[in-house]
Amino acid sequence: MAHKYLVTLTQGEDGYIVAECPSLPGCVSQGKSREEALKNIQEAIEGIVEVRKAQDLPIPSPDIVEISVAA
């Protein structure tokens, strides 16, 4: 079963795009471009999930909440 995790992207001071998955503490990656950062964070998320499964640890559920704000 595939899960969707929220990923945040921010511009680092060094010019790299920093990607972080708040649902998985410590799951951070980066890339020279948005596409590279997203590819790298996907690999990081997959790695964390794989390790947690192998160690029989719980896998945090994605906590995506959508809020509408009038503009």
Q: What is the pLDDT of residues 6-65, one digit of tens each?
A: 899 999 999 999 999 988 989 999 999 999 999 999 999 999 999 999 999 998 887 666
pTM of the predicted model as reported, rounded to 2 decimal places: 0.81
Contact 49, 59 (CB under 8 A): yes
Residue pointed to by tokens 């945040």: 8
For residues 44 and 50, give the distance between their C-alpha atoms in angstroms, rounded to a whole number: 10
What local confidence, expressed as pLDDT, does residue 36 receive? 97
**Domain residue spans in the chain?**
1-71
pLDDT band, very low/low/confident/very high, at 67 (cuts 50, 70, 90)? low
Q: In CATH, what is the architecture of 1-71? A: 2-Layer Sandwich (3.30)
The yes-or-no verdict on residue 71 having pLDDT over 90 is no
What span, in angstroms and rounded, lies between the C-alpha atoms of 9 and 2?
Answer: 21
